[in-house]
Amino acid sequence: MTNHTLVTEFTLLGIPETEGLEKVLLFLFSLLYGCALLGNMLILTAVIASPRLHTPMYFFLGNLSIFDVSFCSTTVPKMLSYLSGQSREISFQGCTAQLFFYHCLGCTECFLYTVMAYDRFVAICFPLRYMVIMNHRVCSVLATGTWMGGCVHATILTTLTFQLPYCGPSQVGYYFCDMPAVLLLACDDSSLAQTVGFTNVGLLSLICFFLILVSYTRIGISISKIRSTEGRQRAFSTCSAHLTAIACAYGPVIIIYLQPNPSPLLGAIIQILNNLVTPMLNPMIYSLRNKDVKSALRHVFLKRRLALKDK
């Protein structure tokens, strides 16, 4: 260590094998990012402004919208910056913060989808007791627990990663500071951090995914016992949206962290799907096709228009 200088900043090399495509990627990712921000902010506005949407299901959808906005904003702005020709340098502290928030929000996502599956399980399997079981206190505790769990998870991984010495090289072979890419630059043995990181993230995703499958197995059994065709269709419509979002979110995580030697390009494509495309699709999958949300948004914009006319 006495013969080396500690790294004070890293250089992000970007998405592998995309040299010369910077302008195309800048346009595409800017469009996706803008749609993700707009869609999720509309959902959040509708949930907050409409008393009809102050129910457990929409409370957790509001949390999901906050998560989606935060998650894509962790990595995308810096990527758009260097795609537009700005510096690819990121400070050591900036890299640390990016890795922390990425894994904090990623873990929160796993917990949040699990809680939402439990909410649907109670709503369909115990409809008469739903508001008693999922009362405001329970919802608040579950939501707080998801975010706190994400912070604890990210603190462990970030500490393991950045307690190692980094004395050069400083080029991160990726488009953001993710744990696998950063650990390759460590000057000391990183096997413990790699083992804990890959095992923790992969197993955490699998455990949450298993709990979700258990919930939806029970839900499927309950739906099959509903005599009304309309009732079955309504229950299936609600659950199918959640299952679609889960497939989009969990698939990339499991593929990346449980592969022994993932392809850098494939890993980047999957991460972009997870970081950018899924947050953009979630509002459409969950809420923007929902009649209650559409009605709430129309009411919000109508009130806004009338307020402007009065002025």
DSSP 8-state symbol, 91: E
Per CATH, which fold does 9-310 belong to?
A: Rhopdopsin 7-helix transmembrane proteins (1.20.1070)
**Structure-model confidence comparison of residues 258 and 79, the more confident one:** 79
Give the integer Cα–Cα distance in Å for 60 and 242. Answer: 12
The pLDDT assigned to 308 comes to 64
Segment 59-110, tens digit of pLDDT: 998 898 998 899 989 999 999 998 998 889 999 999 999 999 998 998 898 8
Give the integer Cα–Cα distance in Å for 77 and 70. Answer: 11
Give the integer Cα–Cα distance in Å for 248 and 294. Answer: 24
The pLDDT assigned to 144 comes to 93
The pLDDT assigned to 17 comes to 79
CA quadruple 190, 196, 199, 202: dihedral, nearest 10: -100
- Reply yes or no on whether the pLDDT at 182 is more than 60: yes
- Reply yes or no on whether the pLDDT at 172 is more than 60: yes
Confidence of residue 276 (pLDDT cuts 50, 70, 90): confident
Give the integer Cα–Cα distance in Å for 15 and 93. Answer: 22
Distances in Å between the Cα of 22 and the Cα atoms of 18, 38, 82, 129, 141 are 7, 24, 9, 54, 44
**Angle, CA of 88, 252 and 274, to the nearest 5°:** 50
The pLDDT assigned to 70 comes to 92
Give the integer Cα–Cα distance in Å for 15 and 178. Answer: 13
Percent of the chain with pLDDT over 70: 86
Give the integer Cα–Cα distance in Å for 194 and 161. Answer: 8
Contact 9, 89 (CB under 8 A): yes
Segment 221-241, tens digit of pLDDT: 887 777 777 667 766 766 776
Contact 124, 219 (CB under 8 A): yes
- Reply yes or no on whether the pLDDT at 1 is more than 70: no
End-to-end CA, the chain: 67
Contact 287, 46 (CB under 8 A): yes
The residue among 65, 76, 46, 162 whose CA lies nearest residue 108 is 65
SS (H, E, C) 92-148: HHHHHHHHHHHHHHHHHHHHHHHHHHHHHHHHHHCHHHHHHHCCHHHHHHHHHHHHH
Contact 107, 24 (CB under 8 A): no
Give the integer Cα–Cα distance in Å for 268 and 275. Answer: 10
- Reply yes or no on whether the pLDDT at 47 is more than 80: yes
- Reply yes or no on whether the pLDDT at 4 is more than 70: no
Kindly report the backbone phi and psi dihedral angles of residue 175, in degrees, each rounded to the nearest multiple of 5, phi listed first.
-100, 0
What ranges do the domains of the chain cover? Answer: 9-310
Segment 96-131, tens digit of pLDDT: 999 999 989 988 988 998 998 899 889 888 888 998
The pLDDT assigned to 303 comes to 74
Q: SS3 of 275, please?
A: helix
Confidence of residue 302 (pLDDT cuts 50, 70, 90): confident
Confidence of residue 3 (pLDDT cuts 50, 70, 90): very low
DSSP 8-state symbol, 171: E
